[in-house]
Amino acid sequence: MSANPNFAISRIDLPTIGTRGWQVRLSRGGRRLTKFFSDRVYGGAEEALRAARVFRDELIDRLPAPQRGGAYGKLTRRNVSGVVGVSRIVVRTDTRCYEFWQATWSPRPGVRKRVKFSIRRYGEGRAFELACAARQRGQDDAG
């Protein structure tokens, strides 16, 4: 498990509607599992957090180990490049527009690497090819 004692637990404070407590959120196999622990029901913030941690730990023990990144290594409908981990990025400022192809990969859990290739510098096709090659090298080095 994570070194963070509040892994998968978030504080929810919405005083305007009287909601205060801790939310446990985990995803496994495409399912999102959540449960809210109200300060009022559990007798205060510390007690609610303790209950949330117990619930989270029991849930983790019952569930299968998570798959890396959920859709990790799979094309999603949002992918327009046709290559996992390669995306076309456009950044607009008040005066300029930067366009580039970006490659991302994870050499190990919790670490994300990224490299960008300017379309203005390399051209559309070459920047895409360089991003694909960089992604492949990153994956090969990580494997």
- pLDDT by residue (tens digit) across 93-103? 889 999 999 99
The residue-averaged pLDDT of 23-40 equals 88
Other beta carbons within 10 angstroms of residue 83's beta carbon come to 16
Distance CA 96, CA 92 (A): 6
Q: What pLDDT does residue 17 have?
A: 87
CB contact at 8 A, 119 and 130: no
Q: Greater confidence, 79 or 7?
A: 7
CB contact at 8 A, 54 and 99: no
Q: Greater confidence, 12 or 107?
A: 12
For the range 76-79, what are the long-range contacts, defined as Cβ-Cβ under 8 Å and sequence gap of 24 or more? none
Q: Quick check: 70 pLDDT over 50?
A: no
Q: What pLDDT does residue 98 have?
A: 92
Secondary structure class of 136 (helix, strand, coil): helix
pTM above 0.85, yes or no: no
The residue-averaged pLDDT of 99-126 equals 90
Distance CA 139, CA 113 (A): 10
Q: Quick check: 74 pLDDT over 80?
A: no
